Amino acid sequence: GAVVSQHPSWVICKSGTSVKIECRSLDFQATTMFWYRQFPKQSLMLMATSNEGSKATYEQGVEKDKFLINHASLTLSTLTVTSAHPEDSSFYICSASTGIRGYNEQFFGPGTRLTVL
């Protein structure tokens, strides 16, 4: 149980275009989903936290107009990278949990590699 999927696993796009990444909890209801960014050989940096049905909360320094996050249902959150540029190339990982307060284990998706040409 507790499986999280991401789609696509790898995407290549041209500079200036937008890319949408989906994160799904397959066998549980995720009231909270998290989006992370990871550069090669570096740590995971939290970008934003989304709760189902409400606006995402972005971490300091993350452009909310560039990284649009939608959490429309208890099993799906999407991250849209708008007007992508080569510096947006990175590995994006989502995680899902059943709550935000207290201890709620985060279950991680397999990640999406974004390459912007």
> What number of CA atoms fall less than 13 Å from residue 6's CA on the CB side?
24
Q: What three-state secondary structure class fits 86?
A: helix
Least spacing, CB of residue 83 vs another protein, in Å: 26
Least spacing, CB of residue 55 vs another protein, in Å: 17
Distance of CA 79 to the CA centre of its chain: 5
CA distance 67 to 50: 12
Residue 11 or 44: the one with the smaller Cβ distance to another protein is 44
Tally of CB atoms within 10 A around 18: 12
Please enumerate in sequence order all residues whose Cβ is within 8 A of that of 86, keeping only pairs 6 or more positions apart, or say none. 15, 116, 117
Site for another protein in 39-98 (CB under 8 A): 41-46, 49, 91, 93, 95, 97
Residue 14 or 40: the one with the smaller Cβ distance to another protein is 40
- The only residue of 80, 89, 106, 115 in contact with another protein, by rule CB under 8 A: 106
Residue 65 or 103: the one with the smaller Cβ distance to another protein is 103
Q: Which spans of this chain sit near another protein (rule: CB under 8 A)?
A: 32, 34, 38, 41-46, 49, 91, 93, 95, 97, 99-106, 108, 110-111
